Amino acid sequence: MITGGTGYIGAWIVKMLLEKSYTVRMTVRNKAKKEKYEKLEQLQEQLPGKLEIWEADLLKEGSYDGAAKGADAIIHVASPFILRFKDAKKDLLDPALLGTRNVLNAATRSGTVKKVVLTSSVAAVFGDNIDMAEQGLNEFTEQHFNTTSSAKHQPYSYSKIIAEKEAWSIAKQQNSWKLVVINPSFVLGPALNGSSDSESLNFMKDILKGRFFFGAPDLMFGFVDVRDVARAHIVALEKEDADGRHILAVKTMSIMDLTNMMKKMYGSKYKLPLMKAPKPLLMLIGGLFGVTPKFVKRNVGHKIRLNTTRSTEKLGLQYRNMEETILEMVEQMHKQKLV
């Protein structure tokens, strides 16, 4: 059973499972919204696996019990990845926390589920980029948990901490299934389904539409290809001895480094940033872009390093290079008329 299969990352996981002949029970919020999953149904016709669509909502207690009963494993991907919202509790925290509780309790009640793979994030590992220096670290590893985000400051990151911690706590209270957690950094790469609200797609749309033309913030992220993220979930599911958390990133770079790389690939085809935006200016006008002065202060200009050894050694992941990821993402966005 998989949750979040209509989303950017989830759709790739569903496709890979179908390629591997699995019967996939994909839960959707509303079965009537066929446009969210018809592409996957079409794909299934050419693939050896079987796709079943079940209805369930993160906020409806017990709604995953039907789909979980009889399933061997659950991949829990669904959770809002949005940075523009009205009410943090209602739009982000509740679906993340109550959803995790709901899905994992369904795993326990099923009597058949032996493994649960959870999509967490590096946002559950650290909050602000300054955390690394403040905590006297040279890098972030799977041992670290984000201690600086809250419902008010970086609520998306906070939603990922409370959801992952809840998952570990529920996992400890039972012994019928094992939990494996995937912690991707910022995900890029082609979308199978252009209708997703994922910030991954918004971020690339913003870059291509010239939103950072007069200056990009000196903001560092880890990046990873969506297909590598999907593969990590499949290995976590299939490998008997997979356990614990796994940070995923092929590279850590700033938005400016990323767009400079794109300048080499595309020349002047897009309105890519002319320069780095000065931090004092961002403190002043960040609000226009939806970021607070505190966010700017604690993130802009601060370096991060991510240790990804577990992903390569335990999951055997071989990362795609970023140029390929960008090329295929941009090409796909044109095909889907997103830019």
Q: Which residues bind ligand NAP (CB under 6 A)?
A: 4, 6-10, 29, 36, 57-59, 77-81, 95, 119, 121, 160, 184, 186-187, 196-198, 200
- Strand ranges inside 7-65, DSSP E: 23-28, 50-55
Least distance from C-beta 248 to ligand NAP, angstroms?
8
User: Minimum distance between the CB of residue 261 and ligand NAP, rounded to whole angstroms?
Assistant: 18
**Strand 244-248 vs strand 178-184: parallel, antiparallel, or unpaired?**
parallel
For ligand NAP, which is the closer residue by CB, 206 or 283?
206
CB of 75 to ligand NAP, least distance (A): 10
Per the CB < 8 A criterion, the answer to whether 229 and 248 are in contact is: yes
Quick one: 78 or 304, whose CB is closer to ligand NAP? Answer: 78
Distances (CA, A) of 102 to 29, 76, 108, 173: 14, 11, 10, 15
Distance in Å, CB of 229 to ligand NAP, minimum: 7
Nearer to ligand NAP, 214 or 289 (CB): 289
Q: Tokens for 173?
A: 């209270």
Instruction: Closer to ligand NAP by CB, 121 or 325: give it.
Output: 121
Buried residues in 290-308 as b, exposed as e (16+ CB within 10 A)? ebeeebbbbbbbbebebbb
* Distance between CA atoms of residues 156 and 149, nearest Å: 9
Residue whose CB is less far from ligand NAP, 130 or 167: 167
Which strands sit side by side in the sheet containing 186-188, from one edge to the other? 186-188, 220-225, 251-254
Q: How far is the CB of 267 from ligand NAP (least distance, A)?
A: 27
In angstroms, the CA 197 to CA 118 distance is 20
CB of 221 to ligand NAP, least distance (A): 9
Ranked by CB distance to ligand NAP, the top (closest) residue is 7
Cβ distance to ligand NAP smaller for residue 93 or 272: 93
